[in-house]
Structure 1
Amino acid sequence: MTRRHIVFLSALAVLAVFAAAVFLYQRHTLQVAALQASEQAGAMVRPHSPIIGAEDAPVTIVEFFDPACEACKAFHPRVKQILAAFPRETRLVIRYTPFHREASVEAVRILEAARAQRKFEPVLDALLDGQRAWTGQRTNASLRAWAIAQSVGLDVEQARQYIASGSVDALLAQDVVDLKAIGVRATPTFFVNGKPLSSTDPDQIFELVKREVERLR
């Protein structure tokens, strides 16, 4: 066996060991996430959590969601497709995850004010569609978020009065406590009937939801 062959085989062995280590790490991470989710089942869904879909649906998709997160925006149409594919069997529960700080917090306040006015979904869609206009350090970014919400029917004066009551900040504080207890570190993070996803592959989300729907039929 030549020296070149020995080097090549050694490299293959190193790659195999590395791949095995990555696989074991991912499996361990998923197991830890599942254990945390099980232990914190009461913190997964709260009575105050926004729900899209049938409230009594047997399959619950929990999304730890940041309205200022580009990945959350990218996944939103696919999540809506899943809900449309299984309209009677699935519901989406949104948990706020304000990792983008001020921009996220202000958007959550607007969303909750919109929910009080029964305009949650159109305001959510509008804020995500216009996300670039109100995120980052741009001047008047917050005002742009409000203008976007107003453009789809939000009563701004009524919304600001609702926010001033402090109920939104209390709700958001509870969501932050829960996401820390569950161990959420990135957005979007999905759980389907308490089962964590090993990745944010849209196809994997669909397949897991489909399996749960078929199992419960």
Structure 2
Amino acid sequence: MNNPWVIIGIIVVLLIGGSVWYSGSVSEKYNEGVDASVLHVKGNPDATVTLVEYSDFQCPACAAAQPVVKDIMNEFGNEIKFEYKHFPLPMHPLAEPAARAAEAAGQQGKFFEFHDMLFEKQKTWSNSPNPTALFVQYAEELGLDVQKFRQHMNASLLSDRISADKKDGEKLGITGTPTFFLNGEKMQMTSYNDFYEQIARAVNPDVKFDLATTTATGE
């Protein structure tokens, strides 16, 4: 052990090994208690009609679409299975952190409540110099365990889940948000009435709908 280069090499190996161990232990701490397999579904989980939305929490068009989705679910919720999936766009740097915050809330059974707050307050947190502080504030307002919420916001398992959603969307050819799929088919629509009609016909294919009486709340 008189060779200084050997000693230096041993020190470097120990430092690198310790760094890897520390990084791994921190990651495991954040992942503690996390279940990344939970689907974000509302409505009737056994429905034959499935509506899937790929969305971005920082996307203004996605925020504008939420009242429309609520109208649809209020009318057809017992006959539709609605599933939310993440598709954070590169142009929105806070979309992925917001998605992680929503996932962290989801670990305490409040995904859609947090989802709604993010879209309702989108202009506030997306223009804030410290959006994380606002995410924590929203968690407090929902009565969440803030310590667990902070921990799970950093969970790699939840980041992986968001990435998996986006990869699924990319395989489906998604390039923008929001994008909807009705029973596995990408929806093409130009208006609220068009959106409503496609879903209404999927729910009741033999019934004619008077779209003139439909309230276009989300337009």
What TM-score, normalized by structure 2, do the two folds share?
0.71
Partner residue in 1 for 2:84: 94
CA distance 1:155–1:102, shift in 2 (3 Å): farther
Aligned length: 171
% identity of equivalent residues: 31
User: 1:48 deviation in Å?
Assistant: 4.3
User: 1:84 deviation in Å?
Assistant: 1.2
CA distance 1:164–1:141, shift in 2 (3 Å): closer
Partner residue in 1 for 2:104: 113
Partner residue in 2 for 1:62: 52
**1:178 matches 2:168:** yes
CA distance in structure 2 between the partners assigned to 1:216 and 1:95 by the alignment: 30
- The residue type paired with residue 112 of structure 1 is E
Partner residue in 2 for 1:24: none
Partner residue in 2 for 1:196: 186
Partner residue in 1 for 2:17: none
CA distance in structure 2 between the partners assigned to 1:154 and 1:68 by the alignment: 22
Which aligned pairs between 1:15-164 and structure 2 lie closer than 5 A? 48-99=38-89, 100-136=91-127, 138-164=128-154
Q: Which has the higher helix share?
A: 1
8 Å CA contact 2:50–2:183 kept in 1: the answer is yes
SS of the residue 1:87 aligns to: helix
Q: CA RMSD in A?
A: 2.1
8 Å CA contact 1:62–1:92 kept in 2: the answer is yes
User: 1:152 deviation in Å?
Assistant: 2.2
SS of the residue 1:215 aligns to: coil
CA distance in structure 1 between the partners assigned to 2:139 and 2:39 by the alignment: 20
User: 1:82 deviation in Å?
Assistant: 0.6
CA distance 1:97–1:200, shift in 2 (3 Å): farther
8 Å CA contact 1:103–1:142 kept in 2: the answer is no
CA distance in structure 2 between the partners assigned to 1:198 and 1:51 by the alignment: 22
Q: Which blocks of at least 5 consecutive residues in structure 1 are unaligned?
A: 1-46
8 Å CA contact 1:51–1:92 kept in 2: the answer is yes
User: 1:101 deviation in Å?
Assistant: 4.2
CA distance in structure 2 between the partners assigned to 1:139 and 1:157 by the alignment: 22
8 Å CA contact 2:51–2:183 kept in 1: the answer is yes
**1:168 matches 2:158:** yes
Deviating 4+ runs (over 3 angstroms): none
CA distance 1:155–1:216, shift in 2 (3 Å): farther
User: 1:66 deviation in Å?
Assistant: 0.7
- The residue type paired with residue 169 of structure 2 is L
